[in-house]
Structure 1
């Protein structure tokens, strides 16, 4: 027996009428069409009688028309803990200190970010790159970062 063959009760019919009222208030249904659909909903005996009333309407729908939410089963306890990420062989402290003491993008070359390192080197002649490098070095020490391969810098 398919789901459209299941009989509906008063609560399902009333829910359908309420939802049709929402569509009517949004202007999706003209008064005459709304009245026809409400009449059909009140006379419905099965889900199959209600389904055509909503085929040309966007959500909301009656609950039986909404597909069930697929939930992921919880991970087993031994897998629930986060596995350690692959760490870089580069140090965030070394990268930060290099950025601060040699503010020409040296710390970024060390971490493998040659594009950022070149940008800091080229802008250092206008003093902007020096400020940028110092701030970047402080952020590397405080927040850490990743190397050129996307691995977290070690502490």
Structure 2
């Protein structure tokens, strides 16, 4: 086995020159965890701590302790251990694996069925426009009665048929009374 020129394998120190205290190499957990962290990595970790503090996940003491530990951290593994129990960003709600059914209270009511237009109301309007005033008045009154009972549309047509029908009836009555026909 060959010896590395800079010392014992994996220590980073010359042979027999490992310090008694101070920094010790991180245990070989993974290659990523043993990599040295930079200032940007520490800044990102502090951002996660700030978010957790702002959300109420950390007390003032916990935040200060972890903030100091971030400044002293040398590897990704040490930084990861400081935020392992925190989400990496703000969360609105815990994630749910299975979709929950929506309570019936929050479901929209189905739309009401479309209302039909009264055929008698349309007939009243057509008869009044043609000039059959008396049948227009009769069908208009029947149509308005059915519209109220059955909750139908077309009241405007029945009313218009009635108005034109009454005007036509008044006109013909006046003509007969004056005898000009």
Higher relative CO (Cα under 8 Å, sequence separation at least 6) belongs to 1
Q: TM-score scaled to structure 2, two decimals?
A: 0.32
Larger helix fraction of residues = 1
Q: TM-score scaled to structure 1, two decimals?
A: 0.37
